[in-house]
Amino acid sequence: MEKPSEISSAKMFGGQNKRYKHFSPTLGCSMTFFIYFPPSPTPTHKFPVLYWLSGLTCTDENFIAKSGAQRVAADEGVALIAPDTSPRGLNVEGEADSWDFGVGAGFYLNATQEKWKNWRMYEYVVKELPKVLSENFEQLDTSRASIFGHSMGGHGALTIYLKNLDKYKSVSAFAPICNPINCPWGQKAFSNYLGDNKSDWEEYDATSLIAKHNNLSATILIDQGEDDKFLPDQLLPKKFEEACRSVNVPLLLRFQPGYDHSYYFIATFIDDHIRHHAQALNL
């Protein structure tokens, strides 16, 4: 596996935002990702890692530039990892025809349909990227990891966490797509990536998964803006809340009045999320 090459670096709150490029065998293309390294107390110090999964149309840059997460990450001593949202540059026919499918819309699953066989963001996030990090960045302790995300990335964070409770200490999400099998974004993506078998879809639906993977100790934190235009038709947090209640999974679902689906909303509540994860990671 080739070593990632650094393509940019900028100091922030005493630490460094660094962007890297590497070839991904899982996805069959070059990928970029960001790491925010907090200021290090000692030369040999190892930081726990917190993965951020972004939403539809995003790249690895949005969160690093817009969230303001670095201030509290620096205080708490947590490294932030922000991967891209899909393979790029493969020139699959139709990959850029719509904003909610294809490029920028990987949905953090492993596609089973031949045309989209490179769309394996689940495998990339869960297996390949942690291996790249552990083999190339000695200041990261990838055995202490948590995960969070926004919208499509909130869906990704919830499903990846629930299916890998041994790999992550905690999870949180901003305005996640909680029940994709029952919303237009999810139905469009899943039918194209996974085919018509609905039982395959349930493997990437947090509301469906909670019944199977409910041995949770850490509380799930979700923030949802009440003025989010996607709330009624696409996000369906109440469905997830009902599923959690039915199996006694600890969920803190906070509806925030007046907030929308944007990074203004994320930046407002990001500190709570970083601290939520720092507490779990530093136990």
DSSP per position, 189-238: HHHHHH-S-HHHHGGG-HHHHTTTS----SPEEEEEETT-TTIIIII-HH
199 assigned to active site? no
Instruction: Identify any residues that bridge with 11 across adjacent strands, giving them in sequence order.
Output: 16
Q: How many CA atoms lie within 13 A of 66 on its CB side?
A: 14
Strands 140-150 and 47-53: parallel
228 assigned to active site? yes
As a whole number of angstroms, the distance between CA 4 and CA 237 comes to 37
Q: Which of 22, 150, 155, 261 is catalytic?
A: 261
- Tokens encoding 165: 């409770």
Q: Which of 172, 205, 228, 273 is catalytic?
A: 228
- Look at residue 60 and give its three-state secondary structure: coil
Burial of 248 (0-12, 13-18, 19+ CB in 10 A): exposed
As a whole number of angstroms, the distance between CA 96 and CA 62 comes to 19
Number of Cβ atoms within 10 Å of the Cβ of 30: 15
Q: 53 vs 93, 187, 232, 248, CA distance in Å?
A: 25, 20, 22, 26
Q: Are 168 and 280 in contact (CB under 8 A)?
A: no
What is the 8-class DSSP label of residue 113?
S
Q: Which of 54, 67, 86, 151 is catalytic?
A: 151
What is the 8-class DSSP label of residue 139?
T
As a whole number of angstroms, the distance between CA 123 and CA 130 comes to 10
Catalytic positions, written as ranges: 151, 228, 261
